[in-house]
Amino acid sequence: MSEDRPDRRIRKTRAALRRCLSALLLKKPVKDISVRELTELADINRGTFYLHYHDVFDLLKNLEEEMFLQFTALLERHDVQEVKGSPRKLLIDLLYFVQKNADLFRILLGVNGDPHFLDQLRAVFQEKILVPWWAAIDGNSSYEYEYFYSYVIDGAIGMIRRWVENDTDLSPEDMSALAERFIVFGSSTLLPPDWTLTRS
């Protein structure tokens, strides 16, 4: 039991820093957050902070990297053929992960978020989800393919941003069903049955 005590203290310290950094990032960009301000809010000695991180940027980078490792591991648990049939199970698992880490997603996708995080999120969506899925359904590699990626990826990120801003008001199951409908059927899911596209 005593051997686990230091590890528990470290986890408690890191959890407090994460919680307080998230709170501060809702008010200001990371460049305007000082170690002193963060540690006072977290009620942690600055010396303790420097045992773990170089500065506030290092803390944020560490949180992002840790989350992306977990995120990538989650995606890799799903077989391409499974996703080919329906991405629903993958989407549900992904959204439970987002819900668990809603504090970080809320600030990292918000106005004071990290643009690098957004680029990483786009890249992992494309590499781990869309590219294998597109290949599995024998999709062509025309110019439409690149626009499809942008449409789906930015749409999915936009949905996640709105969801965490709304305190994950819908269940992951409901959100995954909505996302799947939008990905497969687009805006037609919201149009009246008698609506038709007029081509010029």
pLDDT band at 53 (very low <50, low <70, confident <90, very high): very high
- Total domains in the chain come to 1
Position 78 scores a pLDDT of 75
pTM for the full model?
0.78
With respect to residue 198, please indicate whether it lies within any of the assigned structural domains.
no
With respect to residue 191, please indicate whether it lies within any of the assigned structural domains.
no
Residue 1 has pLDDT above 50, yes or no: no
Q: Provide the terminal-to-terminal Cα distance of the chain, rounded to the nearest Å.
A: 74
Please say whether the beta carbons of 89 and 75 come within 8 A.
no
**Can you tell me the distance from the alpha carbon of 60 to that of 174, in angstroms, rounded to the nearest whole number?**
31
Mean pLDDT of 158-168: 93
Residue 2 has pLDDT above 60, yes or no: no
Question: Hey, what's the torsion of the CAs at 159, 160, 164, 169, to 10 degrees?
Answer: 60
With respect to residue 200, please indicate whether it lies within any of the assigned structural domains.
no
Of 110, 73, 95, 115, the C-alpha closest to 169 is: 95
Instruction: Provide the domain limits for residue 8.
Output: 2-186
Q: DSSP secondary structure string, 22-40? A: HHHHTTS-GGG--HHHHHH
With respect to residue 192, please indicate whether it lies within any of the assigned structural domains.
no
With respect to residue 193, please indicate whether it lies within any of the assigned structural domains.
no
Residue 139 has pLDDT above 70, yes or no: no
- With a CB cutoff of 8 Å and minimum separation 6, the contacts of 87 are 129, 133, 180, 183
Longest dimension (CA), the chain: 75
